[in-house]
A = this chain, B = another copy of it.
Amino acid sequence: MIGVDWGTTSLRAYRLDGAGAVLDRRESAQGILSVPEGGFPAVLDAAVRPWLDAGEETVLLCGMVGSRQGWREAPYLPCPAGAAEIAAATVPLPFSGARRCFLVPGLSARGPEGVPDVMRGEETKLIGLLAELGERTAATLCLPGTHSKWARLEGGRIAGFATRMTGETRAVLLGHSILGRLSAPAREGRSDEAFRRGVRRSRDRGGLLHHLFGARALGLMGELAAEETDDYLSGLLIGHEVRAAVEDGGAGGGTVHLAGSATLCRLYALAFDEYGVAHRLHDPDIAARGLHRIGETLP
């Protein structure tokens, strides 16, 4: 089968064998934002044509391609949900290049107070981790990013999840607040010590909004270099993310399973160490594994 993780700014396509091994892969910057009106079938065809010519009959797509801004909207499926429920909720797509073409739905969940949460694309990665960890495992998963996802696996399904807007908050503060005006590009790469200092600060009282201003005051008082501001701010925000997850109990029940970009995962591992949270790093390529697992149970 062919699996495609089609996000806002990138397209990652995999040719998978019957056991889920990646036979071939293609990656491009043709995210959904770059696709012209009505252009989705043509872009997909161009991306996977050689594999179709070689006889592949099934294409499974996940990510923002299933959002309102994508090819077609696949409604959010409520948690708890496993591979079978997700496969049953896939949306067929009109794509003449393959015999079968489906969209993976996003997931929704409700927190203990009834407030909703949503994901689109990450459900496939979580199913990939679930396949890797074994269906019987109860586990906490963390996918760091612009909108970090913390999910709980139970009984072979995604029981629920919580999103934290860590990456986007960092980006807008650096780009548009007084903290960005204080910041200078690091001369010698990033500073783990400034990052750790930010994480340690997140453990104090005072709240995130106070700790943010502290980055400015440290700069004014000559106690934080301009080149360290970015890393300190990352440490503060990721630290507050981990702190809240620990306080929620989401990270308290044993090892946190971590998957995502190597750069981000490395920072999260540093933050977990500061908080004394056990963690295990997984292959960043779990989307392919998730696409295969969902594909196995397609109707």
Contacts and interface: CB of A to CB of B under 8 A. Distances in A.
A248 B207 CA distance: 9
A132 to B, nearest CB: 26
Nearest to A201: B115
Given A172-B177, A206-B248, A118 B212 contact: no
A53 interface: no
A298 to B, nearest CB: 26
A220 to B, nearest CB: 6
A21 interface: no
A206 B244 contact: yes
Contact of A117 (B162, B217, B241, B243): B217
Given A207-B241, A207-B243, A247-B207, A213 B175 contact: no
Contact of A209 (B165, B178, B206, B220): B165
A218 interface: yes
A168 B178 contact: yes
Contacts of A72: none
A229 B116 CA distance: 15
Interface in A135-176: 147, 162-166, 168-169, 172-173, 175-176
A204 interface: yes
Contact of A217 (B116, B175, B218): B116
A113 B211 CA distance: 11
A108 interface: yes
A111 interface: yes
Contacts of A212: 165, 169
Interface of A is mostly: helix
A166 to B, nearest CB: 5
Given A204-B113, A244-B210, A176 B172 contact: yes
Contacts of A210: 162-165, 244
A54 interface: no
A182 to B, nearest CB: 12
Given A207-B247, A248-B205, A217 B163 contact: yes
A23 interface: no
A60 to B, nearest CB: 23
Nearest to A179: B165
22 contacts: A108-B217, A111-B214, A112-B204, A115-B217, A162-B210, A163-B213, A163-B214, A164-B210, A164-B213, A165-B177, A165-B209, A165-B210, A168-B177, A169-B177, A169-B212, A172-B172, A176-B176, A205-B244, A207-B208, A207-B241, A207-B247, A208-B244
Given A147-B213, A163-B217, A207-B244, 7 more contacts: A111-B214, A117-B214, A165-B213, A169-B212, A206-B244, A207-B208, A207-B243
